[in-house]
Amino acid sequence: MNLLHTSRVRRRRLGVGAAAAGLLATLLAAGPAVAVPDPGDATAREKVSAGQAADTRSAIQNGEIPGVDEVVHSDNIEHVTNIPKDALPGTNSDLAFQGRYAFAGNYDGFRIFDISNPKQPRTVSQVLCPGSQNDISVSGDLLFLSTDSSRSDNSCNSTSQPATEKSSWEGMKIFDISDKRNPKYVAAVETACGSHTHTLVPERRNVYVYVSSYSPNAAFPDCQPPHDGISVIKVPRKAPEKSAIVNFPVLFPGEGPDGGGNPGSPTNPGVSKTTGCHDITVLPSKDLAAGACMGDGILFDIEDPEHPKVIDRVQDNVNFAFWHSATFNQRADKVVFTDELGGGSGATCNAEIGPDRGADGIYDIVGKGDRRKLVFRSYFKIPRHQADTENCVAHNGSLIPVKGRDIMVQAWYQGGVSVWDFTNSSRPKEIAYFERGPLSATTISTGGSWSAYYYNGYIYSNDMAKGFDVLKLSDRRTDAGKKVRMHELNVQTQPDYFDD
């Protein structure tokens, strides 16, 4: 481990304006695209056609979309500040919070900010520890970091190594952050197929970690098909060096090498085959969890955190390509699932893709106990069309704690940051937004907001390319959320904001 010390604003109204002819031509086929993994260690750049580039430039000149890197937002959002990348040049990823600190993941490691003054965040430390995608969480004095790329060993000095080699390592890294200026690497646990994301289930003496991973291959010694489950790690708070896997529950039981999840194509064209989960959100106060698992969405009981039990399972083989993440509402009678159509690298926020694909799916939870069911109600997608040079997809977000209403803030990559209300699960609506214009008018360059979360009165966004953004939302529908103060927030471990 290496410790590294270290625009112009135009407001426009909500709604979709008329687009120049040809601007919204999709880069994807007519059917739902098969999702690909999240962006790799390098920022992707892909040329678009001359016609698409010309249409993008024309739309910018006509004011139909923001200019390259131009910042636009609704009247009720203020862009407080931006902190560019520094010692870690890789793709920025997820965020976690504790007290006055924000912890920002990056494919090259992680960065700790002091956000006691949100208008002037200050870098406290930067840790070089490469290993995509460095999904990040914190609990007490412990920080957890996911590694989902095949490495030569479990150290922070490791190098890339083929997954076909038995000696390769992927999994969870654990740091001691009692001294924020000098985090110390204390433990590692190897997990099958690595750790794409992870979710904490904190207990008094232990922290349980649900590790989500997928894409097994018969040629990978440590990632054999069908996989179809999650690794459960038990971490003793006072002895994290004794962390170990205590269970591997199979969530999609089935016979044969393909397991029992969604078979994907060709049975369900354009849908990802389920070989595990991409992300899990737990609601410990209700002993509930929701899993976004590639071709499936699931609801499960975590009363016994070592032995989670699936209650219900749903699929959407018409409009969902890749179930990516999940968010409960405060009352635990709704779940929002996101679809990562195109894997985050495609221009999917346009008229040709439409409002129902690459969107959020809102599900009511009906019934009680083990008879609870997920019932689909509607889709939500940002109402502003993006250019063909902008990768745009539904990504990570969190609730804004307003009692009696269901409001969340959400990242959409180059679609920006959206605040939307799903109190009526059949009629969701956007109430605020922030975005930048395309990174380029001639190429698709992977960028935009990876995660946008509400914490102690501000919205914090980790932009993959541009850095760390702080936004202030001022709206009578959300202002009550400023009174709710959190000591710690890992969004995939949803708190009970009001102790109902």
Residue 103's pLDDT band, with cuts at 50, 70 and 90, is very high
pLDDT at 500 (0 to 100): 56
pLDDT at 256 (0 to 100): 75
* Range in 99-103, 383-387, 428-432 with the lowest mean pLDDT: 383-387
Judge if the upstream peptide bond of residue 133 is cis by omega within 30 degrees of 0: yes
| Mean pLDDT, range 224-243, rounded to an integer | 97
* Range in 199-203, 312-316, 380-384, 495-499 with the lowest mean pLDDT: 495-499
76 or 17: whose pLDDT is higher? 76
Q: What is the dihedral of CA 312, 392, 216, 90, to 10 degrees?
A: -130
Please check whether residue 222 is in contact with residue 163, taking contact to mean a CB–CB distance below 8 angstroms: yes
147 to each of 93, 142, 190, 425, how far by Cα in Å?
12, 16, 9, 35
Please check whether residue 209 is in contact with residue 144, taking contact to mean a CB–CB distance below 8 angstroms: yes
| Mean pLDDT, range 252-256, rounded to an integer | 86
- Sequence-distant (6+) residues with CB within 8 A of 132 are 38, 40, 41, 91, 107, 147, 148, 149
| Mean pLDDT, range 25-33, rounded to an integer | 29
Q: Is the pLDDT of residue 21 over 60?
A: no
Q: What are residue 241's phi and psi, to 5 degrees?
A: -65, -15
Q: Is the pLDDT of residue 57 over 90?
A: no
Q: pTM (2 decimals)?
A: 0.91
As a whole-number percent, the residues of the chain with pLDDT over 70 amount to: 90
| Mean pLDDT, range 333-343, rounded to an integer | 96
Please check whether residue 86 is in contact with residue 468, taking contact to mean a CB–CB distance below 8 angstroms: no
Residue 44's pLDDT band, with cuts at 50, 70 and 90, is low
Residue 52's pLDDT band, with cuts at 50, 70 and 90, is confident
Residue 56's pLDDT band, with cuts at 50, 70 and 90, is confident
